[in-house]
Structure 1
Amino acid sequence: MAEKRKADLCVRHASVLNSYFKTFDRADVYIRDGKILYVDRAEEQCYEAAEEIDGGGAYMVPGLIDIHMHIESSMMTPAAFCERLAQCGVTTIVSEPHEMANVGGLNGVTEMIEAGRGAPIDVRYGIPSCVPSTSSRLETTGGEIGCADMEALYGDPAVACVGEVMNYRQIIRENDLEITKFLKKLRAGDTIFPIEGHCPALMGADLAEFLFLGINGDHTEHSVEELRARFEGGMFVEIQQKTLSTEVLTLIRENNLYEYFCFVTDDVMADKLVEEGHLDALVRQAVALGLAPAQAIYNATFTPARRMNLLDRGALDPGKRADFVLLSDLARFEVQATFRGGKCIYKKGSASHKPANTKAFSAPYYSSIHLTPQTEQRFAMQAPVWQGTVRVRAIEVRDGSTRTEERIFELPVQNGLVQWEGSGLLLAVVLERYGKNGGIGYGFMTGDCHKRGAVATSYAHDCHNLLAAGATARDLTAAVNRVIALQGGFVCAEEGEILAELKLGVGGILSDRPAEEVGAALGRVRAAMTALGYRHYNPIMSFGTITLPVSPALKLTDKGLIDVKAAQIVPLFVDSV
């Protein structure tokens, strides 16, 4: 009798996904050297494995791959974040660390890369391409990423793509942007390296100019019409939760566009990560909207792997990495176990993989808020007239979107000060926190934001200066000073008292605590914001993007109010009476 061939591991009696036929076949799967060796659909047992696992009929699918996301959005350091992802069946991510790059520049990126080494899943990175997201004329950041920095990162084997190009209206016109310089150099020698885009509402010739530069992926929130234009232009579409709908899936199904999109998470808050999951949550949502489970998994494994040129994963084929998930329920994507390179990194009911080093960043990242305590006088608003009224611009928050609108309101003035307390508007401020210029931007907020108390945070995209908005100077002072004392955080206050807080002591944007702790604290902040009147599907992200001057339409930075479309600072006071 011939000696059997050797394998390291065999998963027996599993229902194995064939990514090409979108079918499940009962089979034994053999693994050698961390790679899939043979999917034995005849179960002829022609290999001898050193270790066997009884699949027990469980569904065996490739590990999920999220190619557009930001670890910093979870407010957790990489090790703790990735531990939670293993529980969700995610085995590969491509994270773009432009949040930490805004805090620490190139050093911030390399600190993130180092902090991710040894994580249970495979962490790849995108090169931050727009740090700051606009320019130092419109916002102050702790660090910047220039062309030379991008070139240095391009040579790192952990880097998979160019991260989202966010200054999308500037780059399609004559400019001297650092990303433009880098893209010219990149495309001169590398025509396939993926370049991620960020181009909400861009259409027509403007969209064509964007694509012409080789920026051929987009993940931002879109209407069906905008998505159609991107598919028509050959753009790879990355669908996140707020874009996923029956109408979008109908567009894809009716035009057989399955090969040209994938699911991504972009931003997942810690409490939602603990409660609902990660990329697995989008797979469940897509199935609930009518997409076949095998197809949903395909677009969370195979197409994202191909987009990022990670051709050694995304399917269970001979020679591909043995990154796979065993599911007890297919439609619900209930994870029994997750394997990376043939090694179990999560098993339901077993002790979790714990991060080896929670203090993963260097000392300066634990003392990065360079502000002294503020007084209520800081929030006294000087008016251009001594008495009468003024007309002011206000940022209108709207549920269902992180986009905002501009609204004009009239406020009374007494003795040269705007009487904003009791007006129904919130005073919003952004304090430069890196110790560079001590700048402060003033604005007002209205709409579906909170109505009482104050909210303050150093988790303010992408500059991560200290953002606060409140109904009284007393509450603003309490919330702002608590963030300063914590060396970063998310805080809610009312009547001068702190209602809820999450300490973000790493760069002012991350916690080094486990996912369960961070999620619980963030959940309390979210509940406090809701209790103060915030009415939004994601109040954390809604508030945290008030400082993002690349997302329409009116935003606030330490330099003042920003008209996003015009990329210009606009005055707070429209005119005076």
Structure 2
Amino acid sequence: GIEYMLAGRRGAPVDILYMLPSCVPATPFDIGGATLDAGALSGFVGRDGILGLGEMMNVPGVLAGDEEITRKLALVRIRDGHAPLLSGMDLNAYILAGPDSDHECTTREEAAEKLRRGMYLFVREGSTEKNIAALVPVITPCNVSRCSFSTDDCHADLLAREGHIDRCIRKAMSCGFEPELAIRMATLSPAERFGLSDRGALAPGRRADFCIVDNPCTFSVRETFSRGKPVAEYTSPAAVPALSPAIRCTTPSPEQIRLSGKGHARVIGLVPGQIITGSLFFDLDASLLPDLKRDLLKVVVCNRYGRGTVGTGIAHGFGFKDGAIAASVSHDAHNIIAAGAGDDSILSAISAVIRAGGGMAAVHGKEATVLPLDCAGLMSTLPAHKVVAALDDLRAVSTKIGGIADPFMYLSFLALTVIPSLRITDRGLFDGITFRDVPVF
């Protein structure tokens, strides 16, 4: 997978640089398709295109002084963090271990504390994680050198229609942020954070990577240059053959996704505009799900690697009145995950993803709309405009069945156990605060 991504940067007009994956699996509980230990990663250290170690998500492992994590952190000098809501002495210990950046801040207080303790702040604005408005008030001319933008995670249609980092600049300025500071966060600040002294500013000896805009206050990009050459003059690099989707499962049976129990139930609560979830409690009878009046729907994770394990929980916030959605993008084990207003629809959506060899599916009635993700079940090899069109079709179906905006992005994070609070895996419900599997009832 890493070799595939490195091959994809060859010949591209954009200079694509990577951080090595530090948490495959995200935690020792979440075994996916592979395990990358320090030994496996060490061979990539120093390779062209590799800058450091990315997103150290296993916070409990860091705090416990896990030997394998310590070995990974010792491989490189630049180490990105991933520590949502971490504070106080635990935050001190986490930083002491090596990770010195974070893109998971959701409040001004959290961002200010992490800046005070010497971390780099990446202000995120994705499809569903919208944190610029809350965080830019903490950024000043004194600390902007420690602050950059992040776009983790964006659907292709958002990138095509509204832009990437340029969108972040415009959003920050719409919140009253000074254009000079916003542009610095998009250029010099990230270059300095990642040790890229050959770029980030128009100065002698640096790469002529720049764009021409209409004016700084509206920041509409007219033309982009890479190494002094207009990007439009570059020819498209040769395509890298797609990786196998590795979908080795079958559609679960109705019995496998059945949930039994009655009484006080733990429910995953979606938080609008955020990656974190709430830990909610409802009195309910599982045999009566879905409960459309209270927006209580089943969410199911099916192991894609042939282990036959299936976990079922309850989610609040999707809003579906009919149908279901499913996808093989569910960070970071990327098992198949689905949510919907009825078992038949959920199973139909999972089946559509499996038949496609990985992808995103939305089911309404007996019709399934699918965007195949033929590369590892995570990416499409279709041209960008066709991916955008397929996402439009999926959005039309998810809207028709009553869903919230961008339901696939919310769904993709529900299996990521390192994000508070409640998550769902192929083992069942997981509490991201206590870091253990918990029963629904």
Q: TM-score normalised to the size of structure 2?
A: 0.93
Give the partner amino acid of 1:220. E
Pair 1:114 & 2:7 matched = yes
Q: 1: distance between equivalents of 2:21 and 2:398?
A: 31
Pair 1:356 & 2:238 matched = yes
SS for the counterpart of 2:232 is: strand
Pair 1:300 & 2:163 matched = no
Q: Which residue of 2 aligns with 1:41?
A: none
Give the partner amino acid of 2:244. Y
Deviation at 1:432, TM superposition (A): 0.6
Give the partner amino acid of 2:289. W
Deviation per CA, 1:533-553: give whole Å up to 9, x if none.
2235x4222111111101110
Q: Which residue of 1 aligns with 2:281?
A: 408
Match of 2:390 among 516, 521, 539: 521
Q: 1: distance between equivalents of 2:393 and 2:305?
A: 28
SS for the counterpart of 1:154 is: coil
Pair 1:539 & 2:423 matched = no
Instruction: State, as a whole percentage, how many aligned pairs show the same letter.
Output: 34
Q: 2: distance between equivalents of 1:209 and 1:530?
A: 45
Q: 1: distance between equivalents of 2:356 and 2:52?
A: 34
Deviation per CA, 1:495-514: give whole Å up to 9, x if none.
2322x321111111100011
Deviation at 1:320, TM superposition (A): 0.7
Match of 2:45 among 133, 149, 154: 154
SS for the counterpart of 1:346 is: helix
Q: 2: distance between equivalents of 1:248 and 1:174?
A: 31
Q: Which residue of 1 aligns with 2:296?
A: 425
SS for the counterpart of 1:474 is: helix
* TM alignment of 1:543-554, pairs within 5 A: 543-554=411-422
Q: 1: distance between equivalents of 2:249 and 2:426?
A: 14
Q: 2: distance between equivalents of 1:529 and 1:116?
A: 34
Deviation at 1:124, TM superposition (A): 0.9
Q: Which residue of 1 aligns with 2:314?
A: 444
In the alignment, is the contact (CA less than 8 A) between 1:398 and 1:448 conserved in 2?
no
Match of 1:251 among 131, 138, 149: 138
Deviation per CA, 1:126-185: give whole Å up to 9, x if none.
0110111111x2x23111210112211213121012101111133112424x322222x3
Q: Which residue of 2 aligns with 1:172?
A: 63
Deviation at 1:377, TM superposition (A): 4.4
Deviation at 1:367, TM superposition (A): 4.0
Match of 2:160 among 257, 268, 274: 274
Match of 1:392 among 265, 268, 271: 265
CA pair 426-307 structure 1, distance change in 2 beyond 3 A: same
Q: 1: distance between equivalents of 2:246 and 2:131?
A: 35
Q: Which residue of 2 aligns with 1:181?
A: 71
Q: 2: distance between equivalents of 1:426 and 1:410?
A: 14
Pair 1:204 & 2:88 matched = yes
Q: Which residue of 2 aligns with 1:380?
A: 258
Deviation at 1:462, TM superposition (A): 1.1
In the alignment, is the contact (CA less than 8 A) between 1:126 and 1:162 conserved in 2?
yes
Q: Which residue of 1 aligns with 2:32?
A: 141
In the alignment, is the contact (CA less than 8 A) between 2:320 and 2:401 conserved in 1?
yes
Deviation per CA, 1:100-143: give whole Å up to 9, x if none.
xxxxxxxx1111111222222111110110111111x2x23111
Q: 2: distance between equivalents of 1:448 and 1:221?
A: 23
Q: 2: distance between equivalents of 1:408 and 1:250?
A: 34
Q: Which residue of 1 aligns with 2:336?
A: 466
Q: 2: distance between equivalents of 1:324 and 1:243?
A: 26
Give the partner amino acid of 2:265. V
Give the partner amino acid of 1:520. A
Deviation per CA, 1:336-395: give whole Å up to 9, x if none.
221111222137xxxx854532x533xxx33411122444444333x36xxxx4443221
Q: Which residue of 2 aligns with 1:48?
A: none
Deviation per CA, 1:432-467: give whole Å up to 9, x if none.
1112x2111111112344332111110111111010
Match of 2:103 among 219, 236, 249: 219
Deviation at 1:279, TM superposition (A): 0.6
Q: Which residue of 2 aligns with 1:568?
A: 436
Deviation at 1:529, TM superposition (A): 2.2
Q: Which residue of 2 aligns with 1:485?
A: 355
Q: Which residues of structure 2 form unaligned runs of 5+?
A: none
CA pair 167-464 structure 1, distance change in 2 beyond 3 A: same
Structure with higher Rg: it is: 1
SS for the counterpart of 1:517 is: helix
Q: 2: distance between equivalents of 1:221 and 1:505?
A: 33
Aligned length: 435
Structure richer in strand, relative to its length: 1
Q: 2: distance between equivalents of 1:292 and 1:167?
A: 36
Give the partner amino acid of 1:170. G
Q: Which residue of 2 aligns with 1:56?
A: none
In the alignment, is the contact (CA less than 8 A) between 1:140 and 1:432 conserved in 2?
no
Deviation per CA, 1:40-64: give whole Å up to 9, x if none.
xxxxxxxxxxxxxxxxxxxxxxxxx
In the alignment, is the contact (CA less than 8 A) between 1:302 and 1:314 conserved in 2?
yes
Q: 1: distance between equivalents of 2:222 and 2:290?
A: 54
Pair 1:494 & 2:387 matched = no
Q: Which residues of structure 1 form unaligned runs of 5+?
A: 1-107
SS for the counterpart of 2:248 is: coil
In the alignment, is the contact (CA less than 8 A) between 2:105 and 2:111 conserved in 1?
no
In the alignment, is the contact (CA less than 8 A) between 1:457 and 1:489 conserved in 2?
yes
In the alignment, is the contact (CA less than 8 A) between 2:106 and 2:135 conserved in 1?
no
Q: Which residue of 2 aligns with 1:42?
A: none
Pair 1:457 & 2:324 matched = no
Q: 2: distance between equivalents of 1:315 and 1:421?
A: 55
Q: TM-score normalised to the size of structure 1?
A: 0.72
